Amino acid sequence: MPDTHPTPTAPGGGLVPAPLSIDGPGRGTVRLGADTALAAGPGTEDTARWLRDTLGAAFGLPLPPGSGKTPDTLALAVDPALPPEGYRLAADARWGVRITGGGPAGVFWGAQTLRQLLGPHAFRRAPLAPGCAAVLPEQTIEDGPRFAWRGMLLDVARHFVPKDGVLRALDLLAAHKLNVLHLHLTDDQGWRIEIRRYPKLTEVGAWRERTKLGHRASPLWDERPHGGYYTQDDVREIVAYAAQRHITVVPEIDIPGHSQAAIAAYPELGNTDVIDTTSLKVWDTWGINPNVLAPTDTTLRFYEHVLDEVLGLFPSPFVHIGGDECPKDQWRASATAQARIAELSLADEDALQSWFIRHFDRWLAERGRRLIGWDEILEGGLAPGAAVSSWRGYAGGIAAAKSGHDVVMCPEQQVYLDHRQHASPDEPVPIGFVRTLEDVYRFEPVAPELTAEQAAHVLGTQANVWTEVMDSQQRLDYQVFPRLAAFAEVAWSRLPAPAARDYQDFTRRMAAHYTRLDALGVGYRPPGGPLPWQKRPGVLGRPIDGAPPNV
């Protein structure tokens, strides 16, 4: 029989991420029931709607509108005296639950905490039985985030994630108080966003004939065509769904490398005086591709038109343009590229890439947006408003912060969640260094050599989920969870230095959090290792032995 009347959770309820402070518990409990009213103050309407959709559905609660002046009330309010994303949650048997946020986002994060306090039942979509109780101990929680940018990159270019999977990812980000979804929308292996001016980007560029199974050295192929894309209405829906959860969706349109899917659709974008670009297809394997964009006016105008449509879909102040892993061999062999270098009096092909990036830096700035790109964009200098995603280690982020640029720390050696979680041969398609749950928990986004003024340029941090070897929701779940929970605590909570962090306390709280993930249907990696159906025997990976370098 299901436990339809669960014991109230302990103070703090095994909260993940850990809050700033918990005062309690009191002797009493607070019960949300059929008579509990929901009093939503100005600015809290999205959270009220979310509570009715989630807690209302999980416990069969109507949560009718109320005034907040009567007992048995769930009250939501904004108090600008609190930090914008900060909140106070007070549960008292005399009057119910009050969630007060410094802004609408703070109220929403407080509601996420309430959901955790109510136990795993609160993460289901329907009551397990009539009378399923929503009970929590009396307590007061004060909380707020350490970083403003708490993100996850989802690579939908290598393996397409259907729209419903993206919406599910947004719900999981919200459950962990993460507030940025970086969508990697274009790459050599696929173009995933409808651009109406250039329909071949999706007619041709969204589909590949087959797919390499595992690492690029694997002899195995999946011979099924693979692809998909988001219509512009799909994107509008994703962005609106995210906004209701106080999540910003940052689009990435990769230039000038990682562009074979675009060149396959429009061959004039490539270096036509070096190779027959009409022969190129959407790439079916992994690695760094030599086929890059030509530095021509045709290419610049094309991507300006693309970005015009992207800006109309994504209100994010930041637009990511990639800028990484751009081989220069074709530019060295191209008379057109060499003529451009001479025309602009550039030093070399590296300077040509910098010119390419700076063009779009200025173009975005003129339209009130900010360019963000991988740390290679530092080479050659940046405009003052540009920001950097530091992926090759800490060095790029340190250099950016020291030169006055904002930075998002996402070093591959620490928070690339496609990297394997254990050294066991049972790990499915093992890629990269071993990054355990504890390793992620001890990740520190701010390098110690930064001064306080320089550290203020660290906007936050991001875990990156590259999907070359993640071809299904099951594989994504396994690689992302539970490590995303540890990452969320690093991004949200004010933790001590890595060596001083209480990992045992975190694992104790995770015991409660696993039951929430179970209720949500998340196929995480169990602490004891992969379950039989999570293994991928015979699919070659690329494990790297030893500890990752701290670079």
Angle at 255 between CA 250 and CA 261, to 5 degrees: 95
Could you give phi then psi for residue 199, rounded to 5 degrees? Answer: -65, -25
Q: Where are the alpha helices (DSSP H) in 366-403?
A: 395-402
Maximum alpha-carbon separation in the chain: 79
Single-letter code of the amino acid located at 446: V
**Helix (H/G/I), strand (E/B), else coil: 387:** strand
Q: CA gyration radius for the chain?
A: 24
Which tokens sit at 87? Answer: 């909140």
Query: Could you write out the DSSP letters of every residue in 71-90?
Result: SSEEEEEE-TTS-TT-EEEE
Question: Has 187 been annotated as catalytic?
Answer: yes
| CA–CA distance, 456 with 119 (Å, rounded to integer) | 36
Which tokens sit at 453? Answer: 């003024």
For residue 134, list its beta bridge partners: 32
| CA–CA distance, 147 with 74 (Å, rounded to integer) | 28
Q: How many residues does the chain have?
A: 551
Q: Give how far Cα 169 sits from Cα of 129, 254, 375, 523, Å.
A: 28, 22, 26, 13
Label each residue of 142-180 as H, E or C: EECCCCCEEEEEEECCCCCCCHHHHHHHHHHHHHCCCCE
Say whether the peptide bond before residue 130 is cis (omega within 30 degrees of 0): no
Q: Where are the alpha helices (DSSP H) in 473-540?
A: 473-480, 483-492, 503-520
Res 13: pLDDT: 63
What is the separation of C-alpha 2 from the centre of its chain, rounded to a whole number of angstroms?
Answer: 34
How many other β-carbons are positioned within 10 Å of the β-carbon of residue 281?
14
Question: Has 5 been annotated as catalytic?
Answer: no
Res 372: pLDDT: 98
Which one is catalytic: 79, 92, 325, 379?
A: 325
| CA–CA distance, 349 with 292 (Å, rounded to integer) | 12
Residue 88: half-sphere exposure toward Cβ, Cα within 13 Å: 14
Question: Has 406 been annotated as catalytic?
Answer: no
Res 144: pLDDT: 98
**Helix (H/G/I), strand (E/B), else coil: 372:** strand
Which one is catalytic: 182, 184, 258, 405?
A: 258
Token match 């209480």: residue? 502
- Element spanning 458, H or E: strand 458-465
pLDDT (tens place) for every residue of the chain, 551 residues total: 333 333 334 445 699 999 999 997 677 999 999 999 999 999 999 999 999 999 999 999 999 999 877 789 999 999 999 999 999 999 999 999 999 999 999 999 999 999 999 999 999 999 998 877 899 999 999 999 999 999 999 999 999 999 999 999 999 999 999 999 999 999 999 999 999 999 999 999 999 999 999 999 999 999 999 999 999 999 999 999 999 999 999 999 999 999 999 999 999 999 999 999 999 999 999 999 999 999 999 999 999 999 999 999 999 999 999 999 999 999 999 999 999 999 999 999 999 999 999 999 999 999 999 999 999 999 877 878 899 999 999 999 999 999 999 999 999 999 999 999 999 999 999 999 999 999 999 999 999 999 999 999 999 999 999 999 999 999 999 999 999 999 999 999 999 999 999 999 999 999 999 999 999 999 999 999 999 999 999 999 999 999 999 99
Q: Is the dihedral of CA 313, 318, 324, 327 positive or negative?
A: positive
Which one is catalytic: 85, 143, 187, 375?
A: 187
Say whether the peptide bond before residue 295 is cis (omega within 30 degrees of 0): no
Q: Strand 21-23 to strand 139-143: parallel, antiparallel, or no bridges (unpaired)?
A: antiparallel
Q: Where are the alpha helices (DSSP H) in 2-61?
A: 45-59
Q: Strand 180-184 to strand 186-187: parallel, antiparallel, or no bridges (unpaired)?
A: unpaired
